[in-house]
Amino acid sequence: MMNRWIDKILYDDAYGIALRRRDAKEEVFYTRYPDAKYWYADPFVCHANGKEYVFVEALEYYNGLGRIAVAEVVGNTVGAFRIVIQEDFHLSFPNIFQYDNIWYMLPETSAAGQMRLYKATNFPYEWELDTILLDQVKYVDTIFHFLSDTKAIGLAYDLEIKKAVPILLDMKEKKMSKTELEGNYSLERPGGAIYEKKGKRYRVVQDCVRCYGDYLHFLNVQELSFEKMMEEEVFIRRGMEVVFDDGKQKEYIHTYNTDGVYEVIDFRYRKFYPLKALARFLWRFHVSQ
């Protein structure tokens, strides 16, 4: 009983990230725990300028707002994170991609009721708002795949109807639109970008039946066009099935991404917060404003 009260008063859920080289012979994921101020979740990894970078949602524990942060990867170590996009609303899921040799990002900005496209002016540390692609929408965790030089097909999870909806992204015109897509594709919330491995396409969706971000389903995208998407589940990844460098079991892995060199995931655990009561008060005060 006493242990439960101590946990309730001084501990809270927190997210960290972990990575490993995709060609590694060992299966161990190397952890990067959050600091006293930020959680780290929704990791995306990319290769640029001869270096590897991880972009994350950095959620500030004391006000509940997410920022976008980046850190350089050296070996199996993720360096210090640096905030690169900050707004007066929540940001997460930093889906980064290159178009016409320029880095762009389509993060979650549903708290603004918009789909916002950001452009790197000095990659990876300086970004600016490029275009508001859609207005008056509550879309989160948007993923897409380019099928031509300028156009990509994808899915965005609509918070209002609680399912994924097809979207068409036209980077030449800097426009996004809702579209129709036939097929047997999953309508669950995306858990990472579409990626390729050994000539096949895959994507990841979250299982949120029991709770948000419980675990991941991996799907083989067997057919993908501007009109149709066919896919088949190939395996499930749960926290208990992943080996971490510290030997501790983690739960609620809800994001997976890879750039072909590294794989990145996030995880949830219980973190010690001596000022938890104060933090919760500040968060509630912020939300009420």
- Which tokens belong to 216? 């991941």
Note the pLDDT of residue 257: 98
Tell how strand 190-197 and strand 182-183 pair up: unpaired
Longest dimension (CA), the chain: 61
Q: Which residues contact 260 (CB under 8 A, 6 or more apart)?
A: 22, 47, 195, 196
Quote the percentage of the chain above a pLDDT of 70.
91
Note the pLDDT of residue 150: 98
Predicted model pTM: 0.93
**pLDDT beneath 50, residues of the chain:** 2, 287
- Which tokens belong to 59? 């959620």
Kindly state the DSSP code that residue 252 receives in the 8-state scheme. Answer: -
Distance CA 285, CA 147 (A): 46
- Which tokens belong to 60? 């500030």
Chain centroid offset of residue 282 CA: 26
Note the pLDDT of residue 269: 87
Are the C-beta atoms of 94 and 42 separated by less than 8 Å? yes
Distance CA 241, CA 216 (A): 11
Tell how strand 92-99 and strand 102-108 pair up: antiparallel
| CA-wise closest residue to 145 among 187, 207, 67, 200 | 200
Distance CA 55, CA 57 (A): 7
- What is the set of domains in the chain, with CATH numbers? 37-237 (2.120.10.10)
Beta bridge partners of 198: none
